[in-house]
Amino acid sequence: MNFRSEKTKTLNFSKKTCVYFYIVGQLCTQLVIEINHSRSSWRQMSLAHFADYDNIKTIGKGTFGKVYYGRHKPTGIDVAIKSVNKTLLQDKIVSRNFHRELSILKKIDHPFIIHFYKVLEDESFVYLVTEYAKGCESFLQHLNTNGPLSEEKGKVIFCQLLSILKYLHLDKKVVHRDLKMENLLYSKSGILKLIDFGLSANLDESDDHLLGTQCGSFPYAAPEIFLKKQYDASVDMWSAGVILYTMISGTLPFIDHNSKKLIHMIVNDEPDYNKRCFSSELKDLLKNLLNKNRKERFTVQQACEHPWVTNAKTSIYVTDYFLSQPQFQVFPKTISNIDQVSFQKVKEIASAQDANNLLKDFTDMNETEATMIYRMARSEQVMTALNEHIQSGKGSKALSRIDTDPQKHQIQNQLPALYRIDNECCVQRSYANQTGRERRRPGQLEIIIARSRQTISNRCHLKTLRGSHS
């Protein structure tokens, strides 16, 4: 009896052990398969479709897949290559968002927004080839390293951000819907670049210019998103207000690790505007940007006309004059606008027919080898022109860390989780918190970002995720 009992226990333990190792084995096997598939797919793509590119390496992750760095051999120009697995595009919502992002990128021509170059594909992936922002880091990382900004230096950034939003909202009728510091690249010379239009939308697709899809990142999302109300471009203005508040104060306007409490704060509470680092003009601007009533919230035009912005040395960025300057435009609108240096590159590499049809293809939104090469060459010139504009003193100067009273810009609380809301597909969440550091310089921030993934149900039940710090 005892023997049978011991045997039974042994057998039961063996079954549990077998099940455990079976599950672990299956997971490991699947992981190896995915890694090998990813490597083999990239190898096949690089050989069959990317013969014109070399020095390819992984540099990050976007809304739909990995992002690679590469060099376009015929021109010697660096590019970013965003891969999208075609299996993801079988989902109607993912496919819709991807093609919407592509259509928006194709029509955008703004010096502070990443430029689109070309679409490539193979059996398994679609690839978006875009401008590579040399020497850039995320604006969040810049603040991590250098600390919060003075108001004067904050104006340099915010005027560029308003220039972007003015172009998107008024000219292209586009809402970004995921405006946050991680989606803003910052160069050493002081230039911003907005990236990732994976959640963007066209306002003109709706008759009343109102949208309803829940999306965005928790700390940056407007109250109407959480209340499941219809919204418009004002959600971007709320996010811009959060970014402005954070870059000057060193802390987000609404902070809580509990998701439900954070939502309650965003919907019901007012931020702390009584910070010593906020001037009276800045407080007024922030209160209008972070107005919980979207109908009373500042539009981009109202923000551009606010004294805190108009008195800035870089207020030229929010003017129509700035965007009308040919030296900051990639797309040629007339024959006289065609840049001869860039066109010479086109003639050296592309076919004569494509070169001769360059202006017509740009007008008709046709993708050819000539339009791709022209975009590449011209984008580099625009960046050069921007750098010269800044260094000449006509525009902003490079941002640098400000040493100030530590109490003035001290982070009082841990930063909350940064979430992406999407009821229909797998989403990415980021977790950010403050960590102490010995001998930290005054005014310096230190934020650790750890990432994890989970699926949010249609009822949007929010649970705490634990991620390993990296």
361 is catalytic: no
**Strand, coil or helix: 251:** coil
Domain 53-131 has CATH 3.30.200.20: yes
Residue 424 corresponds to which tokens in the numbers above?
């229909």
- Per-residue pLDDT band for 464 (boundaries 50, 70, 90) equals very low
Catalytic entry in 109, 122, 178, 196 = 178
- With CA atoms as reference, report the closest residue to 223 among 253, 194, 184: 253
- With CA atoms as reference, report the closest residue to 455 among 418, 417, 416, 422: 422
> Domain boundaries in the chain?
53-131, 136-324, 326-398
| C-alpha to C-alpha distance for 58 and 67, rounded to whole angstroms | 6
DSSP letter at 380 equals: H
Mean pLDDT taken over the chain: 75
- pLDDT tens for each residue of 220-278: 999 998 888 888 899 999 999 999 999 999 999 998 888 899 999 999 999 999 999 99
- pLDDT tens for each residue of 367-426: 888 888 899 999 999 998 888 887 776 554 444 333 333 333 333 333 333 333 332 222
Judge residue 187's burial from the number of C-beta atoms within 10 Å of its C-beta, 0-12 exposed, 13-18 middle, 19 or more buried: buried
Percent of the chain at pLDDT > 70 equals 70
Determine if residue 82 is labeled as part of a ligand binding site. yes
* pTM (two decimals): 0.74
Which amino acid appears at position 417 of this protein?
A
What is the DSSP track for 294-320?
TTTSPPHHHHHTSHHHHTSTTGGGGSH
CATH of 136-324, one of 1.10.510.10, 3.40.800.10, 3.40.190.10, 2.170.190.11: 1.10.510.10
Residue 88 corresponds to which tokens in the numbers above?
């993801």
- pLDDT tens for each residue of 23-81: 545 445 444 444 444 444 444 454 456 788 888 898 887 667 788 999 999 999 999 99
